[in-house]
Amino acid sequence: MTSKSPQRRRDVNRTIMIVFAAIVFVCIIASVSLALVESLTPAKLVTALFSFVRYGPNEQPTEVVYTTAVPDSTFTPTHTPFPPTSTPIPPTPTATASPTHTLTPTPLPPTSTPTQIVQPTATATPTETPPPSPISTPTSDTQATETVQAQATTASQASVTAAAEVTAEASAKLTPKPTIAPPPRLGGHLVFPIFDPSRGAYDIYMADIDGKNTRRLMSEASQPAVRPDGRMIAFRRWKSDERGLETLNLDNGDVSRYTTFLEDSSPAWSQDGGDIAFFSRRESDRQSRVYRVNTNDRGEQELRDGQQTAFGEAPSWLPDGRILYRSIFPEKGIAIMNGDGSNSEIIVPDDRATAPAASPNGKFVAFMSQKEGNWEIYRVNLDGSGLRRLTQVAGNDGLPLWLPDGRTIVFASDRGGAWSIFAMNSNGSSQRRLLTLPGSLDGRVSGEPDYASRGWVEERISWSP
């Protein structure tokens, strides 16, 4: 027993020296790696990680860290807000960009004094007490080396995992949020009818799209449609001795008459301005039929698909020369036909849908429908797919009109109790009031039968450059 005790002590001392040498070697390698990484990248993530491994989560040395605040992505509309109309309109809130913060040194909160780690030395007095945990007493030099290597590997894996987590978090913070595009700046003029209950009559008005300069263009008239070049307006005339469809030349004020039946309604210009489509209940059965009249020779044509009359209402033109309309027989819904009435096809089988309007590129159709209670505005692809409801606010929304930019739909609404004209993006977003109308869109013309005057659902709003 006496001869083995000194040998055992020597083995223990040798093991302790090997462990100490391994720890010193690992620390030197880590320091060199840290210096190399920090010299190649401005980020100090690796320093933070090794500090975390060395001192622990609650005992890190105090240091100054520079942080940069990344403002949220916002948008600032570039257009000037529309001036108020005669009736004050609540202002639309405008998002403003948050100011950019400058670099500010932010000291970390003081931590407790780091506990000094007592490193073993080569001159440590031999003792029979086993080394402290977590290093168990090795029985040989090989076992001691394997233990140190295993601990170094575990620490390296923990460092890599922590670095990956910190990098992912930093990347998530630096990823910009999607930018919301502001509504497009609108220009031009709006043309619309207003009902005067004291006279029992409609009049046509024009106003700047921001609500300024409202003026009356024509008395005892409604359903205005501006020619694509903006120089002429077609409308329905209610004057007792001038019933039918007429046009007003905006350059010189000349008025021309194209049809003579009081039931002729809803004129719509072709893309080249050479024809006007309309519908009428002029026949004795009072069923709505679609017609077109040439603006040069004033020749009139009832549209047919073979022997089948095109029974329908509210016609409008597609850019390719076809006609959109509300079909009422033999099927009901939004339909398309050729300019002569042939090849009629239902694209939206909805008997409560009307007032279809095509987008400038001819890919989409907006229309109004009462199928869900209130009058609402919907959009659909030209082939009938992708039906989408655009308005959700209580009240009646209708008479959709595409602006030439192809991004904006203008419509009439009585939401809030007063008739106004609103605009929205073509997907239904950014709904905002453009102007409050100087009266109501809805009314029944005095002295006219029900089949001739049916209120705002057969009216129209239009845009002029």
Joined together, the tokens standing for residue 218 give 């024509």
d(C-alpha 417, C-alpha 300), whole Å: 41
Q: H helices then E strands: how many in the chain?
A: 3, 28
Closest CA to 48 of 40, 38, 39: 38
d(C-alpha 306, C-alpha 342), whole Å: 7
Could you give the count of Cα atoms lying within 13 Å of 3 in the half-sphere of its Cβ?
0
Tens of each residue's pLDDT in the chain, 465 residues: 445 567 777 888 888 888 888 888 887 887 777 666 555 554 455 455 545 545 454 444 444 433 343 344 333 434 434 344 344 444 444 444 444 344 444 444 444 443 344 343 343 444 444 444 443 434 444 454 454 455 555 555 655 555 555 555 555 555 555 555 566 678 999 999 999 999 999 999 999 999 999 999 999 999 999 999 999 999 999 998 899 999 999 999 999 999 999 999 999 999 999 999 999 999 999 999 999 999 999 999 999 999 999 999 999 999 999 999 999 999 999 999 999 999 999 999 999 999 999 999 999 999 999 999 899 999 999 999 999 999 999 999 999 999 999 999 999 999 999 999 999 999 999 999 999 999 999 999 999 999 999 999 999 999 999
> How buried is residue 273: exposed, middle or buried, by Cβ count under 10 Å (0-12/13-18/19+)?
middle
- Give the bridge partners for 317, in sequence order: 323
Domain range list for the chain: 4-68+103-174, 189-464
Peptide bond into 134 cis (omega under 30): yes
Long-range contacts of 379-384 (CB under 8 A, 24+ apart): 379/409, 379/426, 379/427, 379/428, 380/334, 380/347, 380/348, 382/318, 382/336, 382/347, 382/358, 383/347, 384/346, 384/347, 384/348
Closest CA to 81 of 463, 434, 413, 464: 434
Residue 131: alpha-carbon gap to chain centroid: 67
Residue 374: alpha-carbon gap to chain centroid: 24
pTM: 0.63
Residue 416: alpha-carbon gap to chain centroid: 24
DSSP 318-329: -TTS-EEEEEEE
- Give the bridge partners for 6, in sequence order: none
Peptide bond into 88 cis (omega under 30): no
pLDDT score for 228: 96
What CATH number does domain 189-464 carry, 2.120.10.30, 2.40.160.150, 2.130.10.10, 3.20.20.150? 2.120.10.30
d(C-alpha 412, C-alpha 280), whole Å: 24
Closest CA to 314 of 460, 211, 174, 431: 460
Using CA atoms, how far residue 455 sits from 218, 333, 427, in Å, is 18, 20, 28
Determine contact, residues 206/188, Cβ cutoff 8 Å.
no
Angle between helices 141-174 and 4-40 (to 10 degrees): 20
Instruction: Please name the helix (run of DSSP H) or strand (run of DSSP E) that holds residue 216, with its range, or none.
Output: strand 215-219
Joined together, the tokens standing for residue 214 give 């409202």
- What are φ and ψ of residue 319, in 5° steps? -60, -25
Instruction: Please name the helix (run of DSSP H) or strand (run of DSSP E) that holds residue 335, with its range, or none.
Output: strand 333-337
d(C-alpha 332, C-alpha 340), whole Å: 20
